[in-house]
Structures are given as structure tokens and as C-alpha cells.
Amino acid sequence: MTEPRPFLLSVVGWLTVVVGVLTVIGGVLALIFHNDILDNTADYSGDAVTAFGIGGIIVGLIYWMVGRGMLNLNGFALGLGVLVSGLAVAGNLSILLSNDTNYTGVWTSLVLNGLVLIACLSGFSARSRARGVS
């Protein structure tokens, strides 16, 4: 019998899948309502709105694939999660250490990316145990 997936990895994996789906939906909506966005704001050009839409679809698909891979204990997805969240933690720490200002968003990102990092590392451990590797 295989060992169950760690609880934290299950939660983070499902959240990553949901975020991916919502990001794809946001990208599609940006492309559908392209003209409405341009009519209601002077901050973005038409090319920028198109780029946000296409970028949202691509990033959302990546999130979705990584989340599914995390749920299946896929080594590539876990490695990608460790890489991206590790870089995000390092970036957040550098922002916090270089400024005197207290950024709530940076602290939030630091905590969430730390959880993703821990979850992915626990996924590698569970994957090793499932394969019988010590």
C-alpha cells in the first residue's frame, strides 16, 4: 500500500490548481473584454491588455499543470515548485532586508511561498517513501 500524500501538499496542490484555473479565466476575460478595459482606463494600451490576457492564460496553465503534478507527486512539478518558491522567498527576504518599510504584501508572499516550499519538500519525502527509497 502506498503512503498517503502529505496533507500540506494536498492543500497547496489543490490551491495551485484553483489559482491556475482562475488565472486562465482572468486571461480569457481580459481578451474578451479587451475594448471595455480600454474604454474604462487610460492606464493601459491595447497591446498591454492583450499581453496581460495571453500571459494570464499561459501562467494559469502552468499553475494548473504544476498543481496537478504536486497532487500526483510528480518529481518535475515538485522541483519546479521548490525552484519558484525558493526564488520567491529569497526575493521577498531581499526586499524586506533592503527597506525600512513594512510591506504587508511582501510578508504575505513570504509566508505563502514558504508554505509552498515546505509542501513541495514534503512531497519529495513522500515520493521517496512511496518508492521504497530511504
64: closest CA among 73, 77, 75?
A: 77
Residue 46 has a pLDDT of: 81
Which residues have a Cβ under 8 Å from the Cβ of 4 and sit 6 or more positions away? 126
Question: Environment class of residue 35 by beta-carbon count within 10 Å: exposed (0-12), middle (13-18) or buried (19+)?
Answer: exposed
Question: Each residue of 57-73: pLDDT tens digit?
Answer: 998 898 898 889 889 88
Residue 51 has a pLDDT of: 92
Question: Each residue of 118-131: pLDDT tens digit?
Answer: 988 888 888 877 77
Residue 100 has a pLDDT of: 65
Q: Is the pLDDT of residue 1 over 50?
A: no
Question: Each residue of 7-56: pLDDT tens digit?
Answer: 888 998 999 899 889 999 999 999 998 888 777 777 778 888 899 899 99
Threshold 0.95, pTM exceeds: no
Please state, in angstroms and rounded to a whole number, the distance separating the CA atoms of residues 65 and 100.
38
Helices (H), the chain: 7-32, 34-40, 46-71, 75-98, 104-131
Model confidence at 108, pLDDT cuts 50, 70, 90, reads: confident
| Per-residue b or e along 42-62, where b marks 16 or more CB atoms closer than 10 Å to that residue's CB | eeeeeeebeebbeebbebbeb
Phi, psi of 43 (to 5 degrees): -80, -20
Q: How much of the chain, in percent, has pLDDT values that exceed 70?
A: 92
Residue 55 has a pLDDT of: 92
Residue 41 has a pLDDT of: 75
DSSP code at position 3? P
